[in-house]
A and B are shown apart, each in its own frame.
Chain A
Amino acid sequence: MLYYTFGILNIRGDKIETEQNNKEVFITQPRDFRMDSPLPLDCGRELKEVNIRYETAGTLNADRSNAVLVTHALSGDAHVCGRHTPEDKKPGWWDEMIGPDRPVDTNKYFVICSNVIGGCSGSTGPQSIDPDTGKPYNMSFPVITVADMVRAQKRLVEHLGITKLLAVLGGSMGGMQVLQWAVDYPEAMECFIPIATASCFTPQNIAFDWVAREAIKADPNWNNGNYTPDASPDHGLAAARMLAHITYLSEESMGRKFGRALQNKSELDFAFNYDFAVESYLQYQGQRFVERFDANSYFYITRATDYFDVTAKTDGDLVKAFSQVKAAALVVAFSSDWLFPPEQSRKIVDALLQNGSEVSFCEIKSGYGHDAFLLEVDTLGRMIKDFLHYHQEGYCHE
């Protein structure tokens, strides 16, 4: 009954909203950048005919000093803000942070976001056709790294005519790309904002990825990656996603959101279908994920994060790894994030300070766990907005 009532309200609300929004819907369009030369990779191989799916919002100013590159997390894509059509129900994944009059204001900044290589949302990945064989790569796609993703992004940024970005920002795996940018292309940005991330993947992170991939492997449909769209390893991928999803929440947020509430029932079933709201929620998250994500991509992107370590070339020395960093940093962590605990961010801050870099650090109090980087928009947004504002002023004065 309660749901029904809400349903009517919703329909009415939606109607009014759509009419109002139609005038103001912020439209973004996906675009493709096809590289004219192969992309060298850390594994020693190179990737031919690379395509990068990207979106931009806002306008690049005359001196090209207002470009902000946003890097996405594991399951993200290039669609960072706005809607592709006025009818789209859901906006881009960081729409609350980016757009007109949002903290990263597209009236002021030119925002770029691209799908990572190895992904499955338009950029070259395991689903793409291998030009050498004429067939999809599947698991013959080369193992890529975060540095490879960043190298591809650098080409895109150059293609857009930008030599120095105002900022690179992103959370989680996006934060890893941000750090890799600062280390690999220290001259290419005025400031950088790594959020809810770490300078390397911890054994705990690697372990979760391993179990997730094992779940996919155990799905008979996976077939060493040679599956067809109508028989894809959905069960395995959904299980992988459910596992990962738990790591994005916190005990507190799960307790608050679900408690021990039962799902559409008043008594336990004494069976193994889902009884609890939290089980039903995970099931739903898993199913939604397989609709938009490719299992082989999950292998490649998680592997890239496993391999991530900005100190790879400096024998584990983080201070040395950051020795060339020129840009100012705003490092943000969240108190209840146990996947990338604040301590990991503090290490980044300490190493930057020891190099005399300009750095700011805030550990935002939040109960949302790792997901907080998408949910704590008020505090995070205010800091990002102010930080960008001051650094754009600095950039213009140079």
Chain B
Amino acid sequence: MNKRQFLDPQRRHDLDIIADAVNPGDRVLDLGCGDGIFLRELKEKRKARVLGVEIDQDSIVRCIGNGVPVIQRDLNGDLGFFPDKSFDLAVLSHTLQETSRPDLLLRSIVRIGKRAAVSVINFGHWRCRTQVMFRGRMPRSTQMPFQWYDTPNIHFCTLRDFRELCARLNIKIVEERPIPGRFPRLTKLFPNAFATVCVFILEG
């Protein structure tokens, strides 16, 4: 194991937190599952019954190569074919900001999953704020390396925005796990300014 993993900005700490929310034998749905590595881990280490949803053909081929069942679907389309509460946990990790209607998708995932785990990239992070304020430029960071014109990320929000949306949709936030950048203590006090990412556990 990498000793610097806690400080490693490349590491997906949100996935560690989400994995902790999975009980042995749970049915887990990962929307926007990429190559399925995360689901493979859940399958092997937590004995979860998993399913991925992905739109990219190469990712799907790799999922199957990882032994992870996956279906090709557009998350912006209708997900009505998933029965209500058919999964113990529905996961959206670093995906919400890429969808055309995050509100509709949130509503769907709390319907499909008994609980949902959503990791949200925080646009209210102090670095983002200072980039806009002092440089007058759209923020870019390791989480968001794209230029504003070619980014797949079309719906960014702050943690406060996200909480507000959940309240409006009558979605209960069961747990909030902000992931600190450099200042763990400040993150606890002011997550909306210091968390780079936050994992929300939701119930519909």
A interface with B by C-beta (< 8 Å): 328, 330, 349-350, 353-354, 356, 358-365, 379, 382-383, 386-387, 389-390, 393
A362 touches B65 (CB 8 A): no
| Chain B window 21-61, contacts with chain A (Cβ cutoff 8 Å), 1 for yes, 0 for no | 00000000000000000000000000001010000010011
26 pairs, CB–CB < 8 Å, chain A vs chain B: A330-B64, A349-B81, A353-B71, A353-B82, A358-B51, A358-B69, A359-B71, A360-B60, A360-B69, A360-B70, A360-B71, A361-B73, A362-B57, A362-B60, A362-B72, A363-B57, A363-B72, A364-B57, A365-B57, A382-B64, A382-B65, A386-B67, A387-B64, A389-B67, A390-B64, A393-B67
Residues in chain B near residue A328, CB distance under 8 A = 69
Residues in chain B near residue A364, CB distance under 8 A = 57
Nearest B residue to A358, CB-CB: B69
Expressed in whole angstroms, the minimum distance between the Cβ of A333 and any Cβ of chain B is: 9
In the docked arrangement, what's the CA distance between A389 and B66, Å? 10
Expressed in whole angstroms, the minimum distance between the Cβ of B86 and any Cβ of chain A is: 7
- Decide: A383 near B83, CB < 8 A? Known: A328-B69, A362-B72: no
- Decide: A353 near B81, CB < 8 A? Known: A362-B60, A362-B61, A386-B64: yes
Q: Which of A359, A361, A364 has the most CB of B within 10 A?
A: A361
In the docked arrangement, what's the CA distance between A365 and B64, Å? 17
Expressed in whole angstroms, the minimum distance between the Cβ of A285 and any Cβ of chain B is: 30
Tell me what chain B mostly uses at the interface: helix, strand, loop, or mixed. Answer: mixed
B61 touches A354 (CB 8 A): no
- Decide: A349 near B57, CB < 8 A? Known: A360-B64, A387-B64: no
Expressed in whole angstroms, the minimum distance between the Cβ of B72 and any Cβ of chain A is: 5
B interface with A by C-beta (< 8 Å): 49, 51, 57, 60-61, 63-65, 67, 69-73, 81-83, 86
Nearest B residue to A360, CB-CB: B69
The listed residue (A330, A350, A358, A390) touching B81 by CB distance below 8 A is A350
In the docked arrangement, what's the CA distance between A349 and B73, Å? 11
B72 touches A356 (CB 8 A): no
Expressed in whole angstroms, the minimum distance between the Cβ of B64 and any Cβ of chain A is: 5
In the docked arrangement, what's the CA distance between A120 and B73, Å? 40
Q: Which of B67, B72, B82 has the most CB of A within 10 A?
A: B72
Residues in chain A near residue B82, CB distance under 8 A = 353
Residues in chain A near residue B71, CB distance under 8 A = 349, 353, 359-361
Nearest B residue to A331, CB-CB: B71
A379 touches B70 (CB 8 A): no
In the docked arrangement, what's the CA distance between A389 and B72, Å? 21
- List the 8 closest pairs (A to B, CB-CB), nearest first: A350-B81, A390-B67, A361-B71, A386-B65, A360-B69, A386-B64, A362-B60, A383-B64
Residues in chain B near residue A386, CB distance under 8 A = 64-65, 67
Expressed in whole angstroms, the minimum distance between the Cβ of A327 and any Cβ of chain B is: 12
Residues in chain A near residue B49, CB distance under 8 A = 358
Expressed in whole angstroms, the minimum distance between the Cβ of A376 and any Cβ of chain B is: 11
A359 touches B65 (CB 8 A): no
Nearest B residue to A391, CB-CB: B67
Residues in chain B near residue A379, CB distance under 8 A = 57, 61
**Apart from A361-B72, A363-B57, A379-B57, what 14 extra A-B contacts exist at CB < 8 Å?**
A328-B69, A330-B64, A353-B81, A354-B81, A359-B69, A360-B63, A362-B70, A363-B72, A364-B57, A379-B61, A383-B61, A386-B67, A387-B64, A390-B67
Residues in chain A near residue B57, CB distance under 8 A = 362-365, 379
In the docked arrangement, what's the CA distance between A48 and B22, Å? 57
In the docked arrangement, what's the CA distance between A387 and B61, Å? 10
Expressed in whole angstroms, the minimum distance between the Cβ of B50 and any Cβ of chain A is: 9
Q: Which of B57, B61, B64, B67 has the most CB of A within 10 A?
A: B64
Nearest B residue to A383, CB-CB: B64
In the docked arrangement, what's the CA distance between A389 and B65, Å? 9
In the docked arrangement, what's the CA distance between A363 and B72, Å? 7
Nearest A residue to B55, CB-CB: A363
